[in-house]
Structure 1
Amino acid sequence: MGKLYGLIGHPIGHSMSPIMHNREFMELGLSHHYHAFELSPEQLEDGVEAMKMLDIQGFNVTIPHKVAIMPLLDEVEQEALDIGAVNTVYKRDGKYVGTNTDGRGYLMSLLSMTGEESLKEKNVLVIGAGGAARAVSVSISHSGVRSLTIANRTLEKAEELSNVCARYSETYAITLKEAEESLGNYDIVINTTSIGMSPHLDRIPLSVDRLKPGTVLSDLIYNPLETQWMKLGKKQGAVTDNGISMFVEQGALAFEIWTGASPDRQRMRKTVLKELGG
């Protein structure tokens, strides 16, 4: 008999996680099922209890519950505590344990472009200081880079995140204006904000006028598949990557935690691209 897995969030009608995971269950001959559960913030506490009653073996957590769910779990892993958010829950000895595969998922997608040794020599700029920025920044700082700089509209938030990452790597906090002026100093530039996401397709998070050729320009957005920011970066000679790689990798890591089986990441990517019409 198969096991039940799922996703909680609000709203979740647009999520591609059910399609991606259920396709892998089928392809690997696993009789499991992944279901999306719509839970408003007011329903979260009762919803977690319902997950236990339904004997759901693991589930993903998306907006707006990634932080609020933490005190409702039996345990939270240290990496998730550093990030300050949980995106994946699994069962261990009958208890719900929270972890975070967002940052590791992004790191794996980045390493596929740079290689582990090369990454250690890079100066990295992260744009934004929200939940996605925390996941990306903490994981990158753990992996080891020459320097990590957080740029945000509100400097105080950048400084707060910088203080967390400074335990693991050389980290700085600057304003967006300072980031634009010093853009040529960075080898990897990562947009973790929603600026440029559909339907606001003409907006960009940061000017790329001072970008040096060969810079890796990474945008966590994947709707559209290529943002205006990425198009401008290409004209400046950047190597670009959208958020599909991170989405697939974080999902694959959760899949492995839950089942112990390794999904086909290329197939997962094709499934997502097909749904996006790409």
Structure 2
Amino acid sequence: MSIFDWISSRCFGGSSPEISPAEPLVDPDPFNGTVDGNDINAWVYVPSGRIKNANRGAIAVHGGWIAGLVSTYAPYVNMGWTTVYPNFEGEPDIYNQDPNRDAIELRDVAILMKQRFPNLQSIDLVGVSLGCYRSLRAFALYPQLFRRVVGMIGPINMHDPKRPYDWDAWTADGRHGDLVDDAKAFFDKAPDPMQLANEGRYTGLEKQIILIYGEKDKLCTPVTHFYPFIRRVKCLGTIIEGAAHNVHRTVEGQKIAAAFLRK
């Protein structure tokens, strides 16, 4: 469970029905390689047996500073797509790396996927929480590599003076204050998705983006992150009534994401 999810479950739970994290129908294999001198460490789920959609690819990008989330990737594995799950938390010095490292790594994962699986017709991005931030940045910087992006409950507007981020939400439970400085340093290193939107980096990509947020999310509030981006980019978006920072674990959230990606 990620830091965002742990705090959300203890302090900010919503009423939208959750589902138990789905277990993938296939076991993962290591997905490692080097692209332009950058090492890739990830897992890949390759459809087999009755699953017939392996020519579709997805990169599932987890949230949080502690661990990944099964519910980030299992639905797309079980839809039959070749799904890669990068391990960002395997990089202890991530805060000291190139400020565009997150987007560069997703670029390199996509390049490696196309090399390893030449029959892939497309690759989509699915990002949850911090993974939403990373996915939208990668989509803005390398749109030629990706077909669509689903961004769920992400901290995507971190530098808006009119809507300052509520860092107190991180420490509402009396823990995790030691992570705040690292998180601030991470977000201060590169333009966030809202800043990229203001630069026009999503122009022409509007129909390829959907945001899914929770009505009661206090970690990534819709008023700060969802609505400004939707208004600026004019992309698709859904607010799930009663949900908090748990949209990826709700039936409605997963159905909306899957329907968008199946188009």
Structures share a fold, TM > 0.5?
no
| Larger RCO (alpha carbons 8 Å, 6+ apart) | 2
The interval holding the TM-score normalised by the smaller chain is 0.3 to 0.5
TM-score (norm 1): 0.34
TM-score (norm 2): 0.35
